A and B are shown apart, each in its own frame.
Chain A
Amino acid sequence: MNVKQELDCRGMNCPLPILKTKKAIDALGAGDVLKVTATDPGSCNDMDAWSRRTGNPIVDKSEGNGEYVFFIQKG
């Protein structure tokens, strides 16, 4: 996977991870992958909802040590 950019949302709470993700993805080109690291447990469901609404698929995600990692491809 070609990660074009990484975004650190650790320590941020709702709705900042979503807002920062949106801003970052807007600056990328179609097909680019954004890696987002968050600590907000709510961001798990929220990122899914955001992805469905905006058409930017989450191609991979993982969880561990209280961190949630999302790989989002710009649609």
Chain B
Amino acid sequence: MAAQKKFMMITSKGTLDWAYPPFILGSTAAALDMETSIFFTFYGLNLLLKDLNMKATPTANPAMPMKMPFGPKWFQGINWPIPNLVINNVPFFDNFVTLLLKKTFKNHGVASIPELRDICVEAGVKMIACQMTMDVFGYTKDDFIDGIEFAGAATALEIGSSSDMQFFI
């Protein structure tokens, strides 16, 4: 067996699409016997909330493919050219996009965010909420899942300095 590696991530984004990388990498790193830590800061704090209610939006994500998760294969393959005028102005368009994204991930056999997060918790991935952004955004410890820690930049850097890999997401 290879020597144990240490892996840490700082995750700063709180939309549904960006919730996948830290939880996929975190759960997989734990499965590879890596000692894994995730520091959640800014909008990344959303990923630790008891009540996960993340959405995805094509706004400011111009490369997001707009595909339909139902119908025949040729239909699902179409990348719909939806104008920014619609994306940015149709009410609740983000809800529609979120629904499509969730369905598409499910169709392809990808685990959901709550599932991946549960696996991270179960596998002992160390999760740290940024105390400062928590205070700024008005969260309390009760808003978050159990078993996490609360700390700041010095803790993140200390973990990073002793890790073999450091990612910023």
- Of B1, B27, B33, B109, which is within 8 A of A19 by CB? B27
Contact of A22 among B2, B31, B108 (CB under 8 A): B31
Q: Is the interface of A mostly helix, strand, loop or mixed?
A: helix
- Is the pair B28, A55 in contact by a Cβ cutoff of 8 Å? no
CB-nearest residue of chain B to A21: B31
Cβ of B87 within 8 Å of any chain A Cβ, yes or no, is no
**What are the residues of chain A within 8 A of B28 when measuring CB–CB?**
15, 18-19
Q: Say whether B31 contacts A11, CB under 8 Å.
A: no
| Contact, CB under 8 Å: A55 / B2 | yes
List which A15-38 residues lie within 8 A (CB) of chain B.
15-16, 18-19, 21-22
A22 to B36, CA, bound (A): 15
With a cutoff of 8 Å between Cβ atoms, the chain A residues found around residue B109 in the complex are 11-13, 16, 40
Contacts of A18 in B (CB 8 A): 28, 31-32
Q: What separation, in Å, do the CA atoms of A71 and B28 have in the docked complex?
A: 20
B23 to chain A, nearest CB (A): 9
Give which listed residue, A12, A14, A50, contacts B32 with CB less than 8 A: A50
With beta carbons under 8 angstroms apart, the residue of A19, A40, A75 that contacts B31 is: A19
Question: Do A75 and B110 touch (CB < 8 A)?
Answer: no
Q: What B residues does A40 contact at CB under 8 A?
A: 109
Q: In the complex, which residue of chain A has the Cβ closest to the Cβ of B26?
A: A15
How many pairs of residues, A versus B, come closer than 8 Å at their CB atoms? 45
* Interface size of B in residues (CB-CB distance below 8 Å): 16
Contact with A along B65-96 (1 / 0, CB 8 A): 00000000000000000000000000000000
A2 within 8 Å of B (CB atoms):
no
Bound CA–CA A55/B39 (angstroms): 28
A14-B24 CB under 8 A given contacts A40-B109, A75-B1: yes
Q: Is the CB of A14 within 8 A of B1?
A: no
Chain B residues positioned under 8 Å from A13 (CB to CB): 108-110
Residues of A participating in the B interface, judged by any CB pair closer than 8 Å = 11-16, 18-19, 21-22, 40, 49-50, 52-55, 75
17 A/B residue pairs, CB under 8 Å, sorted by A: A11-B109, A13-B110, A14-B24, A14-B110, A15-B28, A16-B109, A16-B111, A18-B28, A18-B32, A19-B28, A19-B111, A21-B31, A50-B32, A53-B1, A53-B32, A54-B31, A54-B33
- By a beta-carbon cutoff of 8 Å, the part of chain B in contact with chain A is 1-2, 5, 24, 27-28, 30-34, 108-111, 119
